[in-house]
Amino acid sequence: MATVFARPKLDVFGVSTAFVVRKINLSDLGNALRLGWEDFKAIPTHAVVLCVIYPVLGLVLFRLVIGYSVLPLLFPLAAGFTLIGPFAALGLYELSRRRERGEEAAAWDAMHVLRAPSFGAMLELGILLLVLFGVWIAAADAIYIATFGHAPAATIPDFATRVLTTPEGWSLIIVGCGVGFLFAVAALCVSVVSFPLMLDRHATAIDAIRTSLRAVRENPVAMAVWGLVVAALLAIGSLPFFVGLAVVLPVLGHATWHLYRKVVEPDPNPPEEQPRPPIGHRYAADFPASLFPWSRER
């Protein structure tokens, strides 16, 4: 007997209604941030481990800029990481999910996200965001060349003087920020709840994007404020030398999970999952096998 798969219902805009989207208010944003901070305090070790690459990468970028005269791309590179941040925070969503369910949330439990049934879909959307990041960098480079030509800035003071004290520099700031804003809006619309939804409900990438678009459409003010909050916190965390991102990024990652919980109605019939046995203590002799905990599970 053939199995019949029901086609997802679409609204008048052709957007999937398989997942119910709630209306939220600004207090829900504050509550999501508070819960994200509580998650970070409860599991700070792996949050920092997962996100330490960002401040390290920031320092590397700073060195590359000085050594290879690509100084004009420093700000676009730093700002552009917000485009791929939702994908990079997959492990943080998993940690918040496990803590919410009362499961163990130890240092390397974030790696269980690699075994998620919808990891392929998450990878697809992650690649899309990575392409968006690449297009943004190319656009930023084109804007700089159109404004100042191909002559590189010799030093940081020279670059700062050129950008902040000339009409061309202010034109670069206005146009660059405007174009960057459009890229940020596009990334927010397609990913604000997409990755947590795929992790939690095993949705396809298309359904996750559709649901994210519906979430933005139903909550335009709240989502606009959320985008501004994220941008402001990332700007604060970037000072000095991106070190603050080791705290800001995990908090935002955990908060995004709780924002998803507030925006998308829970599954009325969640699938039953087999409880995972506690792993117990790990010792130095287990290294490097302890980096891949699923290899010991049978």
Q: Taken in order 204, 51, 57, 235, is the CA torsion positive or negative?
A: positive
Question: CA-CA distance, 157 to 62, in Å (whole number)?
Answer: 14
Distance of alpha carbon 121 from alpha carbon 102, whole angstroms:
26
Nearest to 52 by CA among 225, 233, 250: 250
Q: Within its chain, how far is the Cα of 145 from the centroid?
A: 29
Averaged pLDDT of the chain:
81
Separation of alpha carbons 117 and 198, rounded Å: 9
- pLDDT of 261-292, one tens digit each? 999 998 877 666 554 544 444 444 444 444 44
Give the model confidence (pLDDT) of 82-100 as tens digits. 888 899 899 999 999 999 9
Distance set, CA 83 to CA 65, 76, 131, 246 (Å): 21, 11, 10, 17
